[in-house]
Amino acid sequence: MIIVSKSQDTFNNFLESEDLLAILENSNQTPNSSPTLFLKSFKKLNLKLVFEIIVPINDNAKNKFPESKLTNLRSRIRKDFGGFTEWRVVGEWTDSNHTVYRDESILFKIAVPLGVGYLDLLESLIIAVKLDFEQVEIFAYSQLVFVNQPP
């Protein structure tokens, strides 16, 4: 069950805002006392931050990036976050001249326990991918999810 989805840029502010409290109150997860105590009690709910980042396979001239770039990225994600899932994906878009572009990429999905410490690592990962894969922009987003655990 997805509780809320917010972009990486606003996620830290979102956690500190009253929006989180309001969303949880609407989902019948009301606090017994202060918002700070309530947020601390979230750890018992097994909330995860699920982060996805799309990384191109080819540069803008359609040349394949060396496999070593992807190998290094995978190693970094395992080291910083403990693991990931990846899929090959294809995306298309048009520019203002109606030229169609098609890119093959890899979508990396990373799930980490809810904690502000990971936000700096995620931001650093986005910057590194932009530099290493020579991109002006990278598509990345995060979701806050509740993970059901068996009784």
* Structural domains of the chain ordered from first start: 2-146 (3.30.70.120)
CA distance 104 to 44: 39
**C-alpha distances in Å from residue 128, one per residue of 30, 87, 98, 122:** 39, 20, 31, 10
Q: By percentage, how much of the chain surpasses pLDDT 70?
A: 65
21: which residues sit within 8 A by CB, 6+ positions away? 31, 35, 38
pLDDT tens digits, one per residue of 26-71 = 444 444 444 444 455 555 566 788 899 999 999 888 899 999 999 9
- pTM for the model stands at 0.68
Residue 53 one-letter amino acid: I
